[in-house]
């Protein structure tokens, strides 16, 4: 059985929803795998939302491993706010403790699912880890907010969602799987027209400050991206579990062929979006 290691801070309902959907896909045989463990960088009692997440994990009978990042070497971590070398040292020491706690719980693939820590170099080299990024391969870097504003700044025609390999270089690991979708045509055209009128009157930075995430074009791009995240994640895990995709020497392969751009799951994801389901 293909084994998944699940990393999540469990900080919000989205973390629970993702675990629920993947667990359901496993139970129904869509993803022929098992979740070997769930790891969280919070411990019981730290936050109400993560406690709800922990109860869900235990309810599924999945082994839960917790280790508080907030309580680990707090003075070194505080120093890291102003000293990058101190922060890097803290990450290495914390990750070593995590890996020690996970010994004896092997996995074929490790999934970062709402894990709110940056993974250090040693853990990246030790584990085959994948993470979600809200852009197509070669698209903007950064948070999902930064990605969308950059798409608007570029007046982009399309965007996407990808799962990428976690490497020492933040958000720059190779794309493993992806899907794309247009952000022109249909409901988007009047929103772009509205944005262009605004841009004739004020710079984008002012629009960002004044409207933020409520700006209609920004909001619609985000809505369409979120609709595709769960289907992409489920299909990515299935692709790994059935051997359609694998990681060799830090690169994605399919059928013995190196995937320079990643494994294109657009057709399957769009079918799921049309049907209104995750799998």
Q: Kindly state whether residues 96 and 233 are assigned to the same domain.
A: no
**Confidence band of 279 (pLDDT split at 50, 70, 90):** confident
Mean pLDDT (whole number) for 175-179: 97
Q: 263 with 176: CB under 8 angstroms?
A: yes
Nearest to 56, CA basis, from 103, 95, 24: 24
Q: Kindly state whether residues 210 and 261 are assigned to the same domain.
A: yes
Domain boundary among 59, 93, 127: 127
Q: Kindly state whether residues 141 and 241 are assigned to the same domain.
A: yes
- Angle, helices 216-241 vs 188-199, to 10°: value is 130
- Which pLDDT tens digit goes with each residue over 193-205? 999 999 999 999 9
Q: Tell me: pLDDT of 16 over 90.
A: yes
- Between the alpha carbon of residue 128 and those of residues 79, 99, 131, 178, the distances in Å are 30, 13, 10, 17
Q: What percent of the chain has pLDDT over 90?
A: 92
Question: Containing domain of residue 45, as a range?
Answer: 1-127
Q: What is the pTM of this model?
A: 0.93
Q: Give pLDDT, residue 15.
A: 94
Q: Tell me: pLDDT of 108 over 80.
A: yes
Q: Kindly state whether residues 64 and 111 are assigned to the same domain.
A: yes
Q: Kindly state whether residues 87 and 148 are assigned to the same domain.
A: no
Q: Kindly state whether residues 63 and 170 are assigned to the same domain.
A: no
- Between the alpha carbon of residue 46 and those of residues 161, 250, 258, the distances in Å are 32, 35, 43
Mean pLDDT (whole number) for 72-84: 93
Domain boundary among 127, 148, 165: 127
Find residue 148's DSSP bridge partners. none
Mean pLDDT (whole number) for 114-136: 93
Q: Tell me: pLDDT of 267 over 90.
A: yes
Q: What is the rounded (10 degree) CA torsion for 15, 53, 115, 29?
A: -60
Q: Tell me: pLDDT of 99 over 80.
A: yes
């Amino acid at each position: 059985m293909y084994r998944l290691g699940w990393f999540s801070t469990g900080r919000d309902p989205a973390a629970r929803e993702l675990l629920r959907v993947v667990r359901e896909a496993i139970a129904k045989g869509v993803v022929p795998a098992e979740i070997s463990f769930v790891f969280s960088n919070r411990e019981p009692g730290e936050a109400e939302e993560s406690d709800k997440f922990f109860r869900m994990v235990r309810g599924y009978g999945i082994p839960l491993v917790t280790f508080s990042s907030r309580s680990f070497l707090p003075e070194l971590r505080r120093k890291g706010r102003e000293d990058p070398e101190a922060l890097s040292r803290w990450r290495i020491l914390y990750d070593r403790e995590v890996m020690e706690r996970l010994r004896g719980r092997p996995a074929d693939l490790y999934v970062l699912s709402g894990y709110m820590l940056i993974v250090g170099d040693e853990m990246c080299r030790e584990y085959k880890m994948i993470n979600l990024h809200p852009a197509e391969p070669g698209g903007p870097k950064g948070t999902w907010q930064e990605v969308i504003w950059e798409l608007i700044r570029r007046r982009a025609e399309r965007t996407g969602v990808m799962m990428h390999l976690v490497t020492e270089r933040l958000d720059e690991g190779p794309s493993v799987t992806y899907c794309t979708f247009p952000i022109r045509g249909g409901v988007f055209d009047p929103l772009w027209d509205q944005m262009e009128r605004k841009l004739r009157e004020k710079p984008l930075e002012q629009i960002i400050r004044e409207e933020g995430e409520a700006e209609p074009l920004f909001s619609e791009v985000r809505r369409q991206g979120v609709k595709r995240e769960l289907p992409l994640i489920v299909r990515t895990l299935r692709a790994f579990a059935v051997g359609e995709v694998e990681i060799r020497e830090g690169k994605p392969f399919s059928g013995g062929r190196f995937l320079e751009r990643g494994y294109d799951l657009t057709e399957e994801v769009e079918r799921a979006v049309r049907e209104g389901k995750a799998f």
